[in-house]
Chains A and B, each alone.
Chain A
Amino acid sequence: MWHRLASYYLRTMALRLVVDESRCSGCRACQVACAEAHENAFSVALARLRVEKRDAEGIDRPVVCHFCADAPCVAACPTGALSQRADGVLLLDAARCEGCSLCIEACTYEALRLHPRTDKPLSCDLCEGEPACVAACVTGALKLEEQK
């Protein structure tokens, strides 16, 4: 057990989602897979990442959590509900979250969104190091890479 935990932390220590916008087909399979993995339901609004789409201009742009060092969303949280693991991954203590949405406003990349019904942030946890969004992306627009 300890071995699996240790290897998991080693693996996730420097993992980040990397976006290649030029490859994105705009299909939103990443969002569907994310909601399925976290909510056991099919939805776009419940995904922990979003895809900015502008059909007329042909723009499809995945927007993902950057797991910023000293993340502004965490700093903005007045109740301590949002915290950050050593590897940068966000942790939400839902019981302490009051749904004030200050974290959403603080996000530099407009990546963090609120759950449409609970008003709590949909924070990305990188799926324990095996992100469902990356597995669902057939074009290579979303990748998992080790941060240098």
Chain B
Amino acid sequence: MTANGLAGAVLRIDLSAGRVSREKTDLSLVRAFLGGRGLNMARLLQELPPRVDPLAPEAPLLIGVGPLVGTSFPGGARFNITARSPQTGILGDSNAGGFFGPELKFAGFDQLVITGKAAHPVFLWIDDDRVGLKDARELWGKDTVETTTAIQEELGDRDVQVATIGLAAENGVRFAGVFANLTRPAARTGMGTVMATKNLKAIAVRGTGEIRVADPAHFRECIARLNERILSHPEYEIRTRLGTTKLINALQAIGGLPTRHFQAGQFEHADQVSGEAIEQRFKVRAKACFACNIPCSRYIVVDDPRFPGLRFEGPEYEPLAGFTARVGNSDLPLALYAIDRCNRLGMDAISVTETIAWTMELGQRGLLIDEEADGLALHFGCGDTILSLIEKIAQREGFGDVLADGVRAAARKLGRGQEIAMEVKGLELFQADVRAMKGYALGNAVSSRGADHLRSEPWFEFSGDREEAIRRYGIPEAADRLAWQGKGKLVAHFEEMAAVSDAIGVCKNTYNNMEALDWDETAELLSAATGWIWKGEQVRLVGERIVNAERLLNARWGITRRDDSLPRRFLDEPAGPPDSPSAGSVVELGPMLEEYYGVRGWNSATGLPAPGKLHDLGLEG
């Protein structure tokens, strides 16, 4: 084994032929793309058949883990799963933490390349260098928890890491995810749907190997400094207590909650459904991803006679805000039960909550009557409708079948509600009103996988630190969430950080939101890990290269500037309610896009990378 942070091998699985093969990890690709999401994009650029249907057997499904995964980097736990998305038709990519990614590295693999379709349902069993396919016909139809437990029992080892799909994927729901450690979902863009069409129910991994770095003493020194910075960060205490659920109250305060399908930025019941409320009402225990010193996750035991035995790890902010503010529901236990159902059925809670909230707004506006939606009561906050639609979507039954391809497709099928479908490029928007945060608005408009915050996460606009904004971006307004000026530079910077974070395999909470390492410090750490000399600018360039590679992939599927947009609501309707700190705000997308394309070196008419830029990044041809 080489001492460079890598596992050293790529595993190819041809499900049609039932054949596996290994090859050495291509170090020139690692130098250019690092790993994880970056390595997956490099592979897609090289190997994706040009006009392949996302659900065709030959369409590749990739799982990548970066060079810092499995090391002592706190939260070096992430994996990326990538394919052409069956939901959006463009780039599909999703990322999750937990323990699956490190286990793959310990088993000896930096990347899995999965193609073909098995004759019947199988699961992939990677037991260090012994790799094979096992019969999963008995597992087909089981939920994510049942499947994980059954596989661990069959293999006689509870430490085997399992990433699985649920029933929704099997039924062809287009926003079905891949769930590791039960509730660590790579849920966005339908990667579970792709897995299901390959007859691949799950991937089980046991890795007893080791990862070595080039300069262990220097690596240890860098990690010690990083740990010190994290542990002394002003947000450390609240992140360990509430994790991302702290955002319910934080976004309520600025008028950024997606209340009743983004009709208002504040939810009158926010205090009943917040992270603090969960902490006060239910038994909660701190949980963490692999080797992380921020136990930002929780295992909760919900005491409510309507939902006996309800207990799981979670929730994160996204599903919590989705099943409360977005659908107008103040019943916290019901929201938690809904989240558990989505996890077990294996669906993306962001997409599910958008389709439900969209249906409710159609009902509110009289654009859809109850009889058209299986007689469900179409008003916000109706618990029965929420729970019923989750099951109907997963089963593709009745009105659920209309929603199961995503909100854009649902609006087309019904011929109604396009103007209130909260999606970009076919992917549903996250749980925040971007009129209250213009950098996030731009980030969602240009994100390579459709509406999404994790492609940039430009938190800096909440800082209000104008001096720092001038130092970084030369524009003081970059630190002002309601201003549009400077946001092109801001988003470009954070896009590169997010790409590097996904490429090295670490968590955006530490790497982006807490800015635990700058470019030079990342370079120092990567030099100690890989044994190559890295400079800060080279690390940044990897981020820029990944962003451009993704734009090139999307260009193959027809994406241009025209698609870098936002739902009309954010552009035309002033944010409310009238007394909110974001009241009256609309998104000035045009000027932000101009600035962004300028920073990116992309043609502002087409939104595509100029040839010179591709040459500079080594991406031409």
Contacts and interface: CB of A to CB of B under 8 A. Distances in A.
A52 B159 CA distance: 8
Contacts of A56: 145, 148-149, 182
Given A55-B313, A58-B313, A28 B290 contact: yes
Contact of B148 (A36, A43, A55, A58): A55
Given A40-B212, A42-B70, A43-B106, A29 B291 contact: yes
A25 B70 contact: no
A43 B289 contact: no
Nearest to A117: B208
- Which of B71, B210, B212, B297 has the most chain A CB atoms closer than 10 A to its own CB? B210
A29 B294 CA distance: 11
Given A56-B182, A58-B311, A60-B287, A29 B211 contact: no
Contacts of A136: 72
A26 interface: yes
A132 B106 CA distance: 21
Interface in A78-114: none
A68 interface: no
Interface in A41-77: 41-46, 52-58, 60
B286 A42 contact: no
A43 B145 contact: no
Given A27-B292, A29-B291, A33-B72, A43 B158 contact: no
A26 B287 contact: yes
A141 to B, nearest CB: 10
Contact of B159 (A41, A53, A57): A53
Contacts of A40: 212, 216
Interface residues of A, number: 32
Contacts of B209: 43, 45
Interface in B159-216: 159, 181-183, 207-213, 216
Contacts of B216: 36, 40
Contacts of A54: 158
A25 B290 contact: no
B383 interface: no
Given A42-B70, A56-B145, A28 B210 contact: no
B289 A27 contact: yes
A27 B290 contact: yes
Nearest to A59: B299
A139 B208 CA distance: 26
A129 to B, nearest CB: 19
B29 interface: no
Contacts of A58: 285, 287, 299, 301, 311, 313
- Which of B148, B207, B285 has the most chain A CB atoms closer than 10 A to its own CB? B285
A148 B286 CA distance: 30
A146 interface: no
A29 B208 contact: no
Contacts of B182: 55-56
Contacts of A138: 231, 293, 295
B313 A39 contact: no
Contacts of B148: 55-56
B341 to A, nearest CB: 15
A28 B291 contact: yes
Given A40-B216, A116-B208, A45 B295 contact: no
Interface string B222-263: 000000000100000000000000000000000000000000
Given A44-B207, A52-B158, 20 more contacts: A25-B286, A25-B295, A26-B287, A27-B292, A28-B290, A29-B293, A40-B212, A41-B210, A42-B213, A43-B106, A45-B106, A55-B148, A55-B313, A57-B311, A58-B285, A58-B299, A117-B208, A136-B72, A138-B295, A139-B286
The 5 A-B pairs of least Cβ separation, nearest first, read A58-B299, A25-B295, A45-B208, A27-B288, A41-B210
Interface of A: 22-23, 25-29, 32-33, 35-36, 39-46, 52-58, 60, 116-117, 136, 138-139
